[in-house]
Amino acid sequence: MNDTARSLPMRDGVAIPQMGLGVMYVPEGTLPALMREAVRLGYRHFDTATVYGNEAEVGEGLRSLDVGRDEVFVTTKLQDGMHGYDNALRAFDASEKLIGSIDLYLIHWPQPAKDLYAESWRALVRLQEEGRVRSIGVANFTPDLIDRIVGETGVSPVINQVELHPRFQQRGTRAYNAANGILTQAWSPLEHGLILKNEAVAEIAARLGRSPAQVVLRWHLQNGLVVIPKAAETRHLADNYAAWDFELSDADMASISSLDRNQSSFDLDPMTYESERGRIES
Ligand SMILES: NC(=O)c1ccc[n+]([C@@H]2O[C@H](COP(=O)([O-])OP(=O)(O)OC[C@H]3O[C@@H](n4cnc5c(N)ncnc54)[C@H](OP(=O)(O)O)[C@@H]3O)[C@@H](O)[C@H]2O)c1
């Protein structure tokens, strides 16, 4: 990675750029150009998933960049229908073929009713042992679910990617992650755009001469969270990356932190969510 100041170290020794580009719902055919523009602006991290259906475009985009493959960090995720040891290995093979190489592989949703997530985790551990992937982690896992996979394998995820924004701050999961050396990564860091209309956020943004998105992303960065805002529009891409260029005072941080409602804005419960039934197809 070329900019260690903008990366966070994970417990396995790999550094992850703290702000990445989430590429869910980026219109088909536009992703390689969007990735090139992102890299021009400073991004070095892309977050995709098999279920987003764009791993081939991510691979195409990576091959078209001006920077070397080792300069960028790429995450993809095990799709929900592929839980279990053998299935997870097969799913990884397919993603690797499309993307080229993968830095971080996550279990996308635990789907505890299937009771296969621990088997899937064993497969991810093997992939890392074999050097096929640099880092392995989970998404949408509660502390209890993480305790189980660590108990069964002795291997801890380096990251837990969860829904996280000012109205759903995941304080309990964050505290557990921090106590166990797991980085917390925020998906939908802008609450899918909803938080940008919040009055307190708008007031801070107007006072500082910043956009609401920059204020919210700056709050994430100052909280030590890894963020992956999605932006299909290039003006949003640039706006978001400029969250690196200013600071929020303790009072403004506290004012945003006071917005917590401690519940998902999308009615997504990791204990019951199956993507087939969810409102966000991710
Ligand atoms: N692990 C999981 O289960 C999971 C679930 C959901 C999402 N994710 C990941 O998280 C990423 C981000 O989540 P998300 O897409 O749900 O939500 P998000 O990043 O919170 O919000 C994206 C929305 O905000 C808009 N936006 C972005 N920057 C803006 C700006 N500066 N000003 C105004 N509007 C702006 C985007 O518009 P435009 O696109 O039009 O620019 C888009 O409509 C996804 O791409 C995916 O990689 C993971």
CA of 231 to the centre of ligand 1 (A): 6
Measured in whole angstroms, the distance separating CA 193 from the mean position of its chain's CA atoms is: 16
User: Does 191 contact ligand 1 (Cβ within 6 A)?
Assistant: yes
Closest C-alpha to ligand 1, atom 36: 231
In a domain, 278, yes or no: no
Please write the tens of the pLDDT for every residue from 246-282. Answer: 999 999 999 999 999 999 999 999 999 876 533 334 4
User: Does 22 contact ligand 1 (Cβ within 6 A)?
Assistant: yes
The average pLDDT across 151-175 equals 98
Residue 187 has pLDDT above 90, yes or no: yes
Q: Where are the alpha helices (DSSP H) in the chain?
A: 31-41, 55-63, 85-99, 117-129, 143-153, 171-179, 199-208, 212-222, 234-241, 250-257
Residue 103 pLDDT: 98
| Sheet containing 45-47: order of strands | 21-22, 45-47, 73-78, 102-107, 133-139, 159-163, 183-187, 226-227
In a domain, 275, yes or no: no
CATH number where 217 lies: 3.20.20.100
Pocket test for ligand 1, best of 50, 190, 273, 276 (most atoms within 8 A of CB): 190
Residue 3 pLDDT: 62
In a domain, 277, yes or no: no
pLDDT-above-90 percentage for the chain: 94
Residue 5 pLDDT: 78
Closest C-alpha to ligand 1, atom 21: 192
b/e string for 88-126 if b means 16 or more Cβ within 10 A? bbebbeebbebbeebbbbbbbbbbbeeebbbbbbbbbbb
CA of 20 to the centre of ligand 1 (A): 11
CA of 164 to the centre of ligand 1 (A): 12
Q: Which domain holds residue 163?
A: 4-262
Whole-number average pLDDT of the chain: 95
User: Does 190 contact ligand 1 (Cβ within 6 A)?
Assistant: yes
Dist. CA 106–CA 146, nearest whole Å = 13
Closest C-alpha to ligand 1, atom 41: 231
Dist. CA 204–CA 100, nearest whole Å = 42
Q: How many domains does the chain have?
A: 1
In a domain, 50, yes or no: yes
In a domain, 41, yes or no: yes
Dist. CA 50–CA 56, nearest whole Å = 10
CB within 8 A of 257, min separation 6: which ones? Answer: 166, 169, 219
In a domain, 66, yes or no: yes
Closest C-alpha to 26, from 15, 17, 38: 38
Hey, which residues are catalytic here?
A: 52
In a domain, 280, yes or no: no
CB within 8 A of 147, min separation 6: which ones? Answer: none
Residue 281 pLDDT: 40
User: Does 47 contact ligand 1 (Cβ within 6 A)?
Assistant: yes
Please write the tens of the pLDDT for every residue from 80-120. Answer: 999 999 999 999 999 999 999 999 999 999 999 999 999 99
Please write the tens of the pLDDT for every residue from 190-239. Answer: 999 999 999 999 999 999 999 999 999 999 999 999 999 999 999 999 99
Structure-block tokens of residue 253: 């941080």
User: Does 236 contact ligand 1 (Cβ within 6 A)?
Assistant: yes
In a domain, 279, yes or no: no
